[in-house]
A and B are shown apart, each in its own frame.
Chain A
Amino acid sequence: MTGTPRSRSSYRSKGLFPLISLIAVLLAAPLLVVITSPLHRAAPEWPHVLGTLLPAHLLETLVLLAGVLLIALVIAVPSAWLIASFQFPLRSVFRWALVLPLALPTYISAYAYAGLLGPTGSISRWSVAHGGPRPDIVSLPGLCVVLALVLFPYIYLPTRAAFMRGMRTQLEAARLLGSGAVDRFLRIALPLARPAIAGGALLLCMETLNDFGAVKYYGVRTLTTGIFRSWGGLYDMGSALRLSMVLLALIAALLWIERRTRKGARQTTDQVPGVPVRLRGTKAWFATGWCSLILLLSLGLPLGRIISDVFATLDRPVWSDVFPAFGNTVYVAVLAAACTMGIALLFTYRERHGERSDVAIRVANLGYAIPGAVIAVAVMALAGAIDRQGWMSFALIGSIGLLTYAFTVRFLAVGTQPLYGNLRQQSISLDESARLLGASPWRTFVRVNLPLLRPALLVSALLVTIDVIKELPLTLVLRPFNFQTLSTTAYELASIEQLREASWPALLIVLCGAIPVLLLEKLLARPLR
């Protein structure tokens, strides 16, 4: 009786798995171009880059990475714990508002903070005028703070989800064993949330390593700026590609650390949401104060600066540039997110139901590690080779299809990581039960795994959409001719020192990014209370 459905499902899987592998190979192709670059690309300035540029840029990259990660952990984990575990004034507002900094591009926040706390910033000038010190945030430590304030939701979101689901009975058991709130947090919640924290930290590290606009403006020498310096300053693409390989090695090390962190962790399978405990008196106001401070620093100050600049430029004709850019941005973001999540789901299915891990999928997932500009060059090289063959009636270079492909290569890891993390929390016995009831692997995935993946799927789609809206260098290089998005408009205005005019597209980027954040919160609110 059970033999028929099993053999049918095996047949289906045999057809689907090679197709998934083929997609993975296509997505891994630009990375292969980078990795094999020493074989096909000369690097005349490499001795200079290796001796002088690389050590300084690598050191500052590592310091920046450690600083951003540390500060983001201090911000994100206690905030997630407070929101998930306690009731206090304005909690329901903070729950979604603390995700909003994700909508803010790092370079926009960096400009805004420089305008406030740079050597000639408004707060700095006010401080000096009143006999105080002159703060200067335009430095490596300052950049650590600015990036952490923008990027901490990458850790906050999955950590909050882990605190809200999956450990209710363990926390209640600890409580009945006399454990107080801080003790429960340190001894139960934190160790159990470790995989979620590690997953979020990995995304944050990747974002930090890929940042270009903010690090360039703050004068910090990272591997990414080194790549652009080699390419744009020394005119040596070969050295730029070799520096990309160093960056890739660093990311591979981070991925390895994250995998190891997950491997040692033991998960609960409790899907019942926890019940927040009401805080009273000083404790309640401390929680409200903490979340208010984080929100003010991460969103209030930079957004306030942007809005004030918008009002200061109301009489200037910025709209004629901004309106078409807005439409283009929405179009590209939706297209890229749909494509990325479709492929992410196929990869997740392959990882769950395949007999062994697929190397091509792992390589394809490394796309997030490579700076957008490098992917753009690699994609252009590939597309140029195809266009020259004349196989198609249209050119790939300068097409929306190629831009979507490049976004998928770039942001696939953002889509897959939360799905993988969530899938590991699903007991394998769920799949086994479905299989014993005659369901094929694909049906098991669609009917059993996928509904349980819904929160992670929404998180992934949200992160990909926001990333596409904010992405700058990839869009600059690969966009169709005369095709402006909000980020390219903001960049071009800022590059000609029209920072105040750049506040218009910047504000729209923030608003576009905020919509999926708010939608996500609404969808998650019902089951999570």
Chain B
Amino acid sequence: MTPLLLRIRDLHFAHGTSPVVRGVDLDLAAGEVVIVVGPSGCGKTTLLRLIAGLERPTRGNIELAGDPLSDGATFVAPEQRPLGMVFQGLALFPHLTVNQNIGFGLSKAPKGERDRRVAEELRSVGLEGLGDRHPHQLSGGQQQRVAIARSLVLRPKVLLMDEPFSDLDARTRRSVRTEVARILREHGTAAIIVSHDREDAYHLGDRIALMDEGRLVRVDTAEVLRHHWQQHPFDA
């Protein structure tokens, strides 16, 4: 049986008095990809930010490989969590080259090792030869891959992706989606991907979590949910 990697229990978060995330329970196994889908404003992005440590939960526990990241007594700072995140707008550093972007998190590694790992990651995402360019000199799909490479080069235990394909046209979206699936599979990285697109969910997710009003209303395999949605097309 695949070991449990991330365990979330009774997670709550509120902006002032407005609840955003309400009692989320979610498990993620090693190498598993879970897609969180749901309408705009349902709390998907906030859920990722809570896992990343960019927001502090008002209640609940998050554990990674048995170690607490966030509970009543513990709160591990984002920079100390072995997690990667690809932001919706990608958040590439516009003043740094592709190489410098990917190597950003490796600043403490010796130069030789840093260069080697950056080159390796560039190859892995198919961007050899583009390392000296700046983000604005790349296409949308290439920028996407830089953002993924920048996170994966640190070998995170879990990769969080917030609407990773939202800025891409339909054709690029399909090819980048296939590419992301390959990269995640090759790295064996578990991932939680937020999307509002069911096609993303079908093609990338081992499981799909349907979120609404801050709650996970259904978590099931992609196959089961695809079947369900085909039967009840207006459910979500």
Residues of A within 8 A of B83 (CB): 176
A176-B79 contact, Cβ under 8 Å, with A188-B93, A267-B94? yes
Within 8 A of B (CB), among A181-215: 183, 187-188, 191-192
A177-B105 contact, Cβ under 8 Å, with A169-B89, A172-B87? yes
A9 interface hit (Cβ, 8 Å): no
Within 8 A of A (CB), among B67-85: 77-81, 83-85
A183 near B107 (CB under 8 angstroms)?
A: yes
A187-B89 contact, Cβ under 8 Å, with A175-B78, A176-B81, A266-B94? no
Closest to A264 in B: B95
Give the distance to chain B from A359, nearest Cβ to Cβ, in Å.
29
Q: Mark B168-201, 1 if CB is under 8 A from A, else 0.
A: 0000000000000000000000000000000000
Within 8 A of B (CB), among A42-72: none
Closest to B89 in A: A169
A172 near B104 (CB under 8 angstroms)?
A: no
B85 near A173 (CB under 8 angstroms)?
A: yes
Residues of B within 8 A of A177 (CB): 79, 104-105, 150-151, 154
Q: How far is the CA of A268 from the CA of B89 in the complex (A)?
A: 10
Q: How far is the CA of A266 from the CA of B97 in the complex (A)?
A: 12
Within 8 A of A (CB), among B84-102: 84-85, 87, 89, 91-95
A174 interface hit (Cβ, 8 Å): yes
**Number of B residues, CB within 8 Å of A:** 27
A170 interface hit (Cβ, 8 Å): yes
Residues of B within 8 A of A266 (CB): 94-95, 134-136
A contact residues, range: 20 to 34
Residues of A within 8 A of B84 (CB): 176
Closest to A188 in B: B93
Within 8 A of A (CB), among B29-57: 52, 54
Q: How far is the CA of A173 from the CA of B136 in the complex (A)?
A: 18
Residues of A within 8 A of B136 (CB): 266
B104 near A174 (CB under 8 angstroms)?
A: yes
A176-B78 contact, Cβ under 8 Å, with A187-B104, A266-B134, A270-B89? yes
Give the one of A187, A192, A270 with max B CB within 10 A.
Answer: A187
Kindly count the residue-residue contacts between A and B in the assembled complex, taking CB atoms under 8 Å apart: 66
Q: Mark A150-193, 1 if CB is under 8 A from B, else 0.
A: 00000000000000000001101111111110010001100110
Query: Which of B52, B81, B94, B105 meets A179, CB within 8 Å?
Result: B105
Give the distance to chain B from A267, nearest Cβ to Cβ, in Å.
7
Q: Mark B199-226, 1 if CB is under 8 A from A, else 0.
A: 0000000000000000000000000000
Give the distance to chain A from B136, nearest Cβ to Cβ, in Å.
6
Give the distance to chain B from A488, nearest Cβ to Cβ, in Å.
47
Query: Which of B81, B93, B107 meets A170, CB within 8 Å?
Result: B93
A172-B54 contact, Cβ under 8 Å, with A179-B104, A183-B107, A266-B94? yes
Q: How far is the CA of A170 from the CA of B54 in the complex (A)?
A: 13
A22 interface hit (Cβ, 8 Å): no
Q: Mark A222-255, 1 if CB is under 8 A from B, else 0.
A: 0000000000000000000000000000000000
Residues of B within 8 A of A436 (CB): none
Give the one of A169, A188, A192 with max B CB within 10 A.
Answer: A169
A268 near B54 (CB under 8 angstroms)?
A: no
Q: How far is the CA of A270 from the CA of B78 in the complex (A)?
A: 20
A265 interface hit (Cβ, 8 Å): yes
Q: How far is the CA of A169 from the CA of B92 in the complex (A)?
A: 9
Query: Which of B95, B107, B108 meets A265, CB within 8 Å?
Result: B95
Q: How far is the CA of A267 from the CA of B94 in the complex (A)?
A: 7
Residues of A within 8 A of B151 (CB): 176-177
Closest to B105 in A: A177
Residues of B within 8 A of A268 (CB): 94
Q: How far is the CA of A273 from the CA of B107 in the complex (A)?
A: 27
Query: Which of B85, B95, B134 meets A176, CB within 8 Å?
Result: B85
Residues of B within 8 A of A170 (CB): 91-94
Within 8 A of B (CB), among A238-297: 265-268, 270
Residues of B within 8 A of A267 (CB): 94
Give the distance to chain A from B156, nearest Cβ to Cβ, in Å.
9
B154 near A178 (CB under 8 angstroms)?
A: yes
B79 near A169 (CB under 8 angstroms)?
A: no
A192 near B87 (CB under 8 angstroms)?
A: no
Binding site for B on A (CB under 8 A): 169-170, 172-180, 183, 187-188, 191-192, 265-268, 270
Q: A172-B87, A183-B107 are in contact. List 20 more A-B contacts (CB 8 A).
A: A169-B91, A170-B93, A172-B52, A172-B78, A173-B85, A173-B150, A174-B93, A176-B54, A176-B81, A177-B79, A177-B105, A177-B151, A177-B154, A178-B80, A179-B105, A187-B104, A187-B107, A192-B93, A192-B95, A266-B134
Binding site for A on B (CB under 8 A): 52, 54, 77-81, 83-85, 87, 89, 91-95, 104-105, 107-108, 134-136, 150-151, 154
Q: Would you give 16 A-B contacts (Cβ < 8 Å), ordered by A? A: A172-B85, A173-B85, A173-B87, A175-B77, A176-B52, A176-B54, A176-B78, A176-B85, A177-B105, A180-B79, A183-B107, A187-B107, A192-B95, A266-B136, A267-B94, A270-B89
- The 4 tightest CB contacts between A and B, nearest first, are A177-B105, A266-B94, A169-B91, A173-B91
